[in-house]
Amino acid sequence: MAKQTFFELIKPNHNFEFIGRMRLLLGISLVLVIISIGMLPLNHFLPSRGHTLNYSIDFRGGTELQIAFDKPQDPALVRATMSDGGYPGTDVVSMKDAIHPNTFLLRFGAVSPLSKQKADLLHKALQTKLGEDAVRKFEFSDGGDKIYIRFNKAVETEAIVGVLNDAGVKNNAVQRFGRPEDNTYEVILVGLDVEVKRTLEAKLGAGSVVAIPSVESVGAKAGAELRDDGIKSMLFAILCIMVYIAVRFDFRYGPGTVAALLHDAILVMGAFAVTYREFSLTTIAAILTVIGYSMNDTIVVFDRIRENATRLRDKKFDRIVNISINETLSRTILTSATVFFVTLAMNVWGTGVIRDFAFAMNVGVIVGTYSSIFVAAPILIWLNERFFKTTGKPTKTRSSSANKAIA
């Protein structure tokens, strides 16, 4: 039978030296990890950045709204108008939008149309206008969208509206709350989007705001909760993976896999820190995808190492690792290349969140492939030498024997 030939990117029987260059490449990895982590405080102190990562409001708390104008606007003017209108430190980012050409993304800290300071002023105004002891209780929690005011006597709602208007809190509904004899009134504050539109139109002219396609508000507490949930679930997932690998392979393989995926997660985060792209919940999803991918990659390589370790007992363990990496190299490159090009297409043609996701994947595929060979494998070799000093025969051979049974 004639020997069959294939369409191949990498010829078989190649033997590239990976393990010998381990030190150098591990060093590069270490440097990249240090840069990634070091970028965080650096970003914090860079005047143009100011935050460790470009956190979206998912984590920071605040409001993010897209706003479309009828004609091109100067971002600086928009920023100044917002600042004068009681929204200091507003980020104004121009964005591409097919439907509305003059769209900006505004991001600011307020989640409520009323700030605590303004509420305090309002409380004082009510006391001066309606009498010092007329106001029995004034309840407003920061970030809320309602105010509760209890009076010692019946008060005209019009009078309350009047005081509100004078204090610059306009277009709000005031209504009685609870039993009439409680004299409690509820002020329902108008939506933040309405308030922002009013603020901007006052300066830029009525009708200048065409549309507000999306608004997202996250209270500071909810933001912290989202972040903690995300971190907690990620850490627990890593722990469970380690346990699974310890059971399926043996415990030498666990730390390498986990180190590789931590390495990948840190470098992807680092890429977001260096480029200062928005870091949102979607980015967390992207990092999870990268972790999943990296784990898949590492396990494929480790599986081959485990298999070869039983087959080639006469060889040194680091040689076995090098052979295994070479044997799986063709697959590694093919898989990485396909995933890379799919996500590259998403990066080039996608928008917004998709693009950020694809960017994370592009970085993740590269570091994920690299880390299986240059992070996970060296740790495996080191652990083997440190604790076993054997040829690397796994203590558990259940799956290997299963392989044989099928083959």
Q: Which of residues 140-179 bind another protein (CB under 8 A)?
A: 141, 143-146, 148, 150, 153-154, 156-159, 161-162, 173-179
372 is a site residue for another protein (CB under 8 A): no
Residue with Cβ nearer another protein (37 or 234): 234
Q: What is the CA radius of gyration of the chain?
A: 30
CB 149, CB 124: distance < 8 Å: no
CA separation for the pair 9, 12 (Å, rounded) = 9
Minimum distance from residue 241 beta carbon to another protein (Å) = 5
Output the CA–CA distances (angstroms, integers) from residue 178 to 144, 149, 183, in the order listed. Answer: 19, 11, 8
Minimum distance from residue 64 beta carbon to another protein (Å) = 9
**What are the DSSP calls for 299-344, one per residue?**
HHHHHHHHHHHHH-TTS-HHHHHHHHHHHHHHHHHHHHHHHHHHHH
Token code pair at residue 2: 């004639």
Minimum distance from residue 109 beta carbon to another protein (Å) = 14
101 is a site residue for another protein (CB under 8 A): no
Q: Interacting stretch for another protein, rule CB under 8 A, among 30-38, 285-293, 373-381, 387-395?
A: 285-293
Q: Interacting stretch for another protein, rule CB under 8 A, among 17-25, 36-44, 198-206, 399-407?
A: 399-407
Q: Interacting stretch for another protein, rule CB under 8 A, among 37-45, 126-134, 183-191, 375-383?
A: 183-191
Output the CA–CA distances (angstroms, integers) from residue 282 to 49, 111, 213, 384, in the order listed. Answer: 21, 21, 19, 38
Query: Which residues from 322-351 bind another protein, rule CB under 8 A?
Result: 327-328, 330-331, 334-335, 338-339, 341-346, 348-351
264 is a site residue for another protein (CB under 8 A): no
CB 263, CB 359: distance < 8 Å: no
Amino acid identity, position 276: Y
Bridging pattern class, strands 278-279 and 54-55: parallel
Minimum distance from residue 15 beta carbon to another protein (Å) = 15
Residue with Cβ nearer another protein (33 or 234): 234
DSSP state of 2: P
Query: Which residues from 24-83 bind another protein, rule CB under 8 A?
Result: 66
CB 61, CB 111: distance < 8 Å: yes
Sign of CA dihedral 117, 121, 126, 128: positive
Specify the DSSP element, H or E, that contains 177. Answer: strand 173-177
Q: Interacting stretch for another protein, rule CB under 8 A, among 15-23, 237-245, 263-271, 310-318?
A: 237-245
130 is a site residue for another protein (CB under 8 A): no
Minimum distance from residue 361 beta carbon to another protein (Å) = 8
Residue with Cβ nearer another protein (62 or 378): 62
Per-residue contact track with another protein, 188 to 227, x per CB under 8 A?
x--x-xx----------------x-xxxxxxx-xx--xx-
Q: Interacting stretch for another protein, rule CB under 8 A, among 74-82, 200-208, 302-310, 380-388?
A: 302-310
Minimum distance from residue 211 beta carbon to another protein (Å) = 8
Output the CA–CA distances (angstroms, integers) from residue 130 to 146, 157, 172, 379, in the order listed. Answer: 20, 12, 19, 74
